[in-house]
Structure 1
Amino acid sequence: MNLPNKITIIRILFIPVFLLFLLVPFPLGEFSVAGGNIAVSHFIAAMLFIIASVTDGLDGYYARKYSLITDLGKFLDPLADKLLITAALVALVQMDIVPSWMVIIILCREFAVTALRLIAVKEGIVIAASNLAKWKTRVQVVSISALLLHNIPFTYFHLPFNMISLWAALIITVVSGWDYFVKNRHFFHSI
């Protein structure tokens, strides 16, 4: 197994550890930062999420730079992204931080685009991630990070950045999903 695939596997293995620190009430205390309080366990969970998210770019960089792109990597990399984002959003719903309807819309888009890609693969075509979809992932990661950090340091400025970024993530998620289906609507003529 090459280095990019190992990085992707590590990213997947971060998910249960991230969830453990986020959802289990460890008695680690809390601290104040920039006008807001955060539990130490939630801070650790947020850092694990951010590290796992950053490794997404790292594995892709190494795969492209050293020509280490494999079929396994093509499968695992987007799977790791979806697992991490899904785990974080579902946990945030459980914690009553994010409205469930927003998460349902985001996850429906992910499943729909995955289904579209499977239809394309059946036709022998690989649908690459669009630039809009790459931005969608970045905005989702920023939004989830702000939510996990309880909006710190934006609480100091009384700016609800976490909710603003969540709305931005929802909008770009829907728009990028629509974009995939409009650009690939020809697949539905053969069904």
Structure 2
Amino acid sequence: MNLPNRLTMARIILIPVFMTFLLLKVPKGYTLFPNQDLVAAVIFILAAATDGLDGYIARKRNQVTNLGKFMDPLADKLLVSAALISLVQLGEVTAWIAWIILAREFAVTGLRAIAAVDRVVISASKLGKIKTTTQVIAISAILLHDWPLSLIGIYIGQPLLYIALFFTVISGLDYMLKSRKLLRK
């Protein structure tokens, strides 16, 4: 297994670690140790950073593989889904926003599966990349409780989540419109 695929697999392996740090509480809601939420946020950010890194290395070293083409978008969707579901449980994200984002992810994954039957690869679009970036930034801000801007009374996590939601819907519609012929079969 090449380095880019190892980074993708590391992203997947970090998901339960991230969720453990974020969600594991002792009775009465206390965390196991100080800064547990910060550790969870750092793990999420590091895992998300491997997305750009694995793609860059794969292209630079000419190590793009079918496994990587399959696992990379799946790892992204698993990471974002785990974060959103966890944040809904914690009351930091409303369920309807998480549902729309997850529905789009399932729809695009299904579209890619349909395309794969015809040996068509649907690569990530520019809007799809913007969607992923805005989702990761919004989730990171929420995980960090808007730190350091919250120190001066500025809260950006929720507004950024609405921006991510906008790009999520727009990019999903873009994929569907561009794949009309494929869907008519």
Match in the other structure for 1:125: 120
Percent identity for Structure 1 against Structure 2: 51
Alignment of 1:120-159 (within 5 A): 120-159=115-154
Matched-pair contact (CA < 8 Å) for 2:84–2:93:
yes
The whole-number CA distance in structure 1 between the counterparts of 2:140 and 2:127 is 20
Match in the other structure for 1:186: 181
Give CA-to-partner distance per residue, 1:127-176, whole Å, 9 cap, x none.
11000000100000000000000111121232220011000011110000
Question: Unaligned 5+ residue runs, structure 2?
Answer: 26-30
Tell me which amino acid in the other structure corresponds to 1:164: P
Given the alignment, which residue of 42, 54, 58 partners 1:59?
54
Matched, 1:12 2:12: yes
Alignment of 1:10-89 (within 5 A): 10-25=10-25, 26-29=31-34, 40-89=35-84
TM-score when scaled to structure 1? 0.92
Matched, 1:2 2:12: no
Tell me which amino acid in the other structure corresponds to 1:28: F
Question: Unaligned 5+ residue runs, structure 1?
Answer: 30-39
Offset of 1:61 from its aligned partner? 0.9
Matched-pair contact (CA < 8 Å) for 2:24–2:32:
no
Match in the other structure for 1:33: none
SS at match of 2:123: coil
Moved segments of 4+, more than 4 Å: none
The whole-number CA distance in structure 1 between the counterparts of 2:119 and 2:7 is 28
> Aligned Cα RMSD in Å?
0.9
